[in-house]
Amino acid sequence: MSADAATKVINFRAPLAKQALIDEAADVLGKTRTEFILDASCEKAREVLADRTHFSLDRKALQRFNALIDAPLGNAAAVRRLLSSKSPWES
């Protein structure tokens, strides 16, 4: 079984009004409630991950980070592969 085929159940409760809203929107798009919720949740997750611009580092980690940023590229082919691959939120 591939990683894409593996699934896990997600259960949660929703107020009836929100459930009706979701069902109506899902119906307009020709999707099931599950498809609609999963698609909307993944879209929001990608947005959140793509918008991350602030990271906290202690002094030692910041010095290492700056040294890596300032260092010349060691393996240009590896960098090209990295830059041409999809981000985790694009899959």
16-40 tens-digit pLDDT: 999 999 999 999 999 999 999 999 9
* Structural domain spans, the chain: 16-84
0.75 surpassed by pTM: no
SS3 label, residue 73: coil
CA of residue 52 relative to chain centroid, distance: 11
In this prediction, residue 25 carries a pLDDT of: 97
In this prediction, residue 83 carries a pLDDT of: 87
The stretches in the chain having pLDDT less than 50 are 1
CA distance 31 to 39: 10
In this prediction, residue 1 carries a pLDDT of: 46
In this prediction, residue 91 carries a pLDDT of: 63
